[in-house]
Chain A
């Protein structure tokens, strides 16, 4: 507790009890108010009954002493224990004259400019990285024995086999949803049988590869960025480089090969269960499994299947390239790993949609 009073030409502040981080707020404010009310009078701070102060209490006493006041209106602290006095005296007011630097808030236009600059830098990095990857892939094709097939298998298992349940679920539901939505509309025109055509083409050419790629981007692309990003933060990438090993060949190539092989396989599973889901729904529209099968054979071609698979391979390659590149571009600290991971997923999904658009234009 603190009290303030004016006696004759002097003002005084009496400090009592414990002044700590939890109690200093009102005391500090009251003392500053007393100083403000007595700008031209000396102020005596009586600390005789002060029992305990902590760091905040020391800051409080120091703040009172460092106030800019006329020479005839100085602040004096009396009866302060020598231990506390020594702590307060350990600070020089000159060290605290400059206010702390406030972090500048970035305006909208500056933010846009920085984002544009970052995207241009990212595009340059990506071109370099793609060049390095192309060289590594060419080397892997020329010398297949030099590839780390054990590592590739491990990555493929993690990215592929462990993703099967979620890909099956998403693929099945996509088939069900597409069949049901188109079926309801087609029923009004008596064209329910053509729903089979829609489900078949949509699953094989578009939804199977696309949904699989989005699942893999969220799962595996993020994992690639986080793994390599953490290795970068832990200086493992530096260690690889100083051993004379190419990090692209050591870290990136196995992931590129694994993802490019695994995503088409997952897409096939998604195609199969998606079509099966559609067939189940069509039973509700009085289209039996045999009729569905016969209609499907006439509606889709091997070309549709191949386009979907090639597209899935391209998606897998893109996800791995982006995930690994983001990982290698990670800065310092855990925050950077998080940013890289987020960036890998977002960029992958955008690029997947762009690639899908390009395929649609050139294969329609």
Chain B
């Protein structure tokens, strides 16, 4: 089975699982940016349950900012963002905190707490929000580390980890509270090909086994084709979503020169020539 048909099958099954339930994440007419500077205007898209959606685009187009709007760290300029049908924008702080807790987030750097070792970092959400005993929390945390192939590093401090290890431990921590919506910011950026492929496999295993929904911010083409059911592409000039669809379709059939340039890794001059 080729990549495109695999992706199509994944996407169809994801939508089927979604059923009549509200989308895991729904972005409605979003305008976001910093101060007066608008990065994205009138953006709308849904992420269905069990789907792996990739947000892609060149550096500085607002991918990470969009993710931070979705998880409620930044306030949009306009529009709304719904998590399982509930607005994270127009809500009281206590409800917003509950919605945020239902999202597992891995930040670009892993964002592990420097004063705790890896196991304690992964256990941290369980310590804060559950009434499990220490043995149970340790077992759960170690199994999470096992899932991301970090079991051997459980006693290390964050300062002793490589970039890839930090990211994988960050994913394990994001999963600790059983969140079924995970947002990953540049998970494979800066990783060696084997570690990046392992991470992609981890994402697919989690979706297959536990039905997780993923939003992955990335511009790593190999990872996009390996994991994504669907992708949206942001453009910093038009400040809009310029393409949405299955990655293989975008690569093979999209006529927008910016999309073709991205998927074919063409330098700027080639696009200018194509535009005439």
Question: Mostly helix, strand, loop or mixed at chain B's interface?
Answer: helix
- When distances are taken between beta carbons in the complex, the residues of chain A under 8 Å from B138 are 99-100
Does A101 count as interface, using CB distance less than 8 angstroms?
yes
Give the CA-CA distance A21 to B140 in the complex, in Å.
10
Interchain CB contact under 8 A, A333 and B151: no
Does B180 count as interface, using CB distance less than 8 angstroms?
yes
Does B72 count as interface, using CB distance less than 8 angstroms?
no
Does A87 count as interface, using CB distance less than 8 angstroms?
yes
Q: Looking across the interface, which residue of chain B has its beta carbon closest to that of A103?
A: B117
- When distances are taken between beta carbons in the complex, the residues of chain B under 8 Å from A21 are 125-126, 129-130, 132, 140, 176-178
Distance to closest chain A CB from B148 (angstroms): 11
Q: Looking across the interface, which residue of chain B has its beta carbon closest to that of A26?
A: B131
Distance to closest chain A CB from B117 (angstroms): 7
Give the CA-CA distance A336 to B25 in the complex, in Å.
38
Which one of B152-160, B192-200, B218-226 is at the A interface? Answer: B152-160
- When distances are taken between beta carbons in the complex, the residues of chain B under 8 Å from A95 are 146, 151
Q: Looking across the interface, which residue of chain B has its beta carbon closest to that of A90?
A: B209
Does B4 count as interface, using CB distance less than 8 angstroms?
no
Chain B's interface size range is 20 to 34
Residue among A55, A57, A83, A87 making CB contact with B176, cutoff 8 Å: A55
CB contact under 8 A between A59 and B143, given known A25-B136, A100-B154: yes
Residue from the set B151, B175, B209 with the largest chain A CB neighbour count within 10 Å:
B209
Give the CA-CA distance A62 to B140 in the complex, in Å.
10
Give the CA-CA distance A58 to B191 in the complex, in Å.
29
Give the CA-CA distance A101 to B119 in the complex, in Å.
9
Does A243 count as interface, using CB distance less than 8 angstroms?
no
Give the CA-CA distance A62 to B135 in the complex, in Å.
13
Interchain CB contact under 8 A, A24 and B130: yes
Question: Mostly helix, strand, loop or mixed at chain A's interface?
Answer: helix
- When distances are taken between beta carbons in the complex, the residues of chain A under 8 Å from B210 are 54-55, 87
Interface residues of B in 118-148 (CB under 8 A from A): 119, 125-126, 129-133, 136, 138-140, 142-144, 146
Interchain CB contact under 8 A, A20 and B178: yes
Interchain CB contact under 8 A, A25 and B131: yes
Does A28 count as interface, using CB distance less than 8 angstroms?
yes
- When distances are taken between beta carbons in the complex, the residues of chain A under 8 Å from B158 are 333
- When distances are taken between beta carbons in the complex, the residues of chain A under 8 Å from B139 are 59, 62-63, 96
Residue from the set B115, B131, B142, B143 with the largest chain A CB neighbour count within 10 Å:
B143
Distance to closest chain A CB from B140 (angstroms): 4
Interchain CB contact under 8 A, B117 and A86: no
Does B35 count as interface, using CB distance less than 8 angstroms?
no
Contact with A along B51-88 (1 / 0, CB 8 A): 00000000000000000000000000000000000000
Does B114 count as interface, using CB distance less than 8 angstroms?
yes
Distance to closest chain B CB from A80 (angstroms): 13
Does A198 count as interface, using CB distance less than 8 angstroms?
no
Residues of chain A whose beta carbon lies under 8 Å from any beta carbon of chain B = 20-22, 24-26, 28-29, 54-60, 62-63, 83, 86-87, 90-91, 95-96, 99-101, 103, 331-336
